[in-house]
Structure 1
Amino acid sequence: MRDFNLYFELGWQHILDWQGYDHILFVLVLCGIYTAKDWKQVLILVTAFTVGHSVTLALSALRLLSVNTALVEFLIPVTIAITALSNIASKKTKPKGLGLKYTLALLFGLIHGLGFSNYLKSLLGKSTNIVLELFAFNIGLEFGQILIVIAALLLSFILISLVKIKRWDWNFFLSSAIFGISFIMAAERLPELL
């Protein structure tokens, strides 16, 4: 049980680490077009993201999958930028359906999982029985993501319901800011690929 608690804590601390803010940005932009009333949809999206990154994290930690780290580090901000652009392009004030967003969250989770994998592999070392550690780490990541979601939905509630900012204006502001940050991150990481 002690190992479970350790890896659970490492999982949520890793997702909430400001030095790795790219994952925080992705979860924030994933929530960008939603309000507190849409919490079920957001939970489904974040869970899709978790499923995606859990798959590649497990495959990588078990040494069944290996991808160029520079490519993954470049693709992570690209996924954030695409999600931000998707939010901006959505002219609807109320999001409909989850089909495309769910698929993108799942696919982008695969990429983000590869970003977590080097960190987790360094923690696991040469351990051969990693199922419990991997499970605990993923549960910790999901817990951390839910904390981000709660903060994002609370902030949107305050701004939209209490301050009376239009829902579209909040989405546009948040998504545009995150797009700008992710674009710069991708541009900075591009030379590593060349």
Structure 2
Amino acid sequence: MEDFSFYFGLGWEHIISADALDHQLFIAAIAAIYLLKDWKQVLILVTAFTIGHSLTLALSVMDVVRFNRNWVEFLIPCTIVITASSNLFQRKFTPRSIRINYFIALFFGLIHGMGFANSIRPMLAKDQGIVSSLLGFNVGLEAGQIVVVLILLLLAQLIVNVFRVERREWVIFLSAAVFSLSVKMALERIGSL
């Protein structure tokens, strides 16, 4: 149980800490088009991201795959740029029109998982309870994502329903902000390739 708690904390910090801006931006990008009433869809979306993240992490810990850290660190903001860009072209916010987001979250979760895999692999490889450790990390990651998403959905609710800002304008504002920060992050990281 100590391993689970320790790795839960690592997963939580992986999303909540100030050093986790890239993951927070990705969550903001995938959640930008949703409102509080869409919480079930968003929960499935962040779970798809966690599944992708977990799969890459598990494969890395078992030493099935290895990734070049610099490329991964560059690709992470690129995934955010792509996700935020796709939001800018959304006209309708029906479940059918945004179904692609589940695949985006799953696929880009694989890339984001690569980013942390290089750091956590040595730690997890030494532990006897790899399953418990990975489970703890992923539950902590999911809990952190849910908190970030809840804050974003409450903010969207306030802006759209209380301040009467058009939903599309909110999506454009948040997505453009995320896009800008992510482009800056990608340009900073391209030099290390």
- TM (norm. structure 1) is 0.95
Alignment RMSD? 1.2
Q: Please name the residue that 2:69 is paired with.
A: 69
Q: Please name the residue that 2:156 is paired with.
A: 156
Q: Is this contact kept in 2: 1:80–1:178, CA < 8 A?
A: yes
Q: Please name the residue that 2:130 is paired with.
A: 130
Equivalent positions of 1:1-194 (< 5 A) are 1-92=1-92, 94-97=93-96, 98-124=98-124, 126-193=126-193
Q: Is the alpha carbon distance of 1:95 and 1:187 closer, same or farther for their aligned partners in structure 2, counting shifts above 3 Å?
A: farther
Q: Is this contact kept in 1: 2:159–2:165, CA < 8 A?
A: yes
- TM (norm. structure 2) is 0.95
Residues in 2 aligned to 1:149 and 1:119: alpha-carbon distance in whole angstroms: 25
Residues in 1 aligned to 2:58 and 2:89: alpha-carbon distance in whole angstroms: 34
Q: Is this contact kept in 1: 2:61–2:125, CA < 8 A?
A: no
Q: Is the alpha carbon distance of 1:121 and 1:141 closer, same or farther for their aligned partners in structure 2, counting shifts above 3 Å?
A: same
Residues in 1 aligned to 2:11 and 2:184: alpha-carbon distance in whole angstroms: 26
Q: Is this contact kept in 2: 1:34–1:95, CA < 8 A?
A: no
Residues in 2 aligned to 1:22 and 1:62: alpha-carbon distance in whole angstroms: 25
Q: CA deviation at 1:128?
A: 4.7
Residues in 1 aligned to 2:21 and 2:119: alpha-carbon distance in whole angstroms: 15
Residues in 1 aligned to 2:147 and 2:123: alpha-carbon distance in whole angstroms: 23
**SS of equivalent to 1:164:** coil
Q: CA deviation at 1:130?
A: 1.1
Q: Is this contact kept in 2: 1:49–1:108, CA < 8 A?
A: yes
Q: Is this contact kept in 1: 2:80–2:178, CA < 8 A?
A: yes
**SS of equivalent to 2:110:** helix
Q: CA deviation at 1:20?
A: 2.1
- Code of the residue aligned with 1:40 in structure 2: it is K
Q: Is this contact kept in 1: 2:81–2:182, CA < 8 A?
A: yes
Runs of at least 5 residues in structure 2 that lack an aligned partner in the other structure: none
Q: CA deviation at 1:125?
A: 5.3
**SS of equivalent to 1:192:** coil
Count of residues paired in the alignment: 192
Indicate the percent of aligned positions where both proteins have the same amino acid: 49
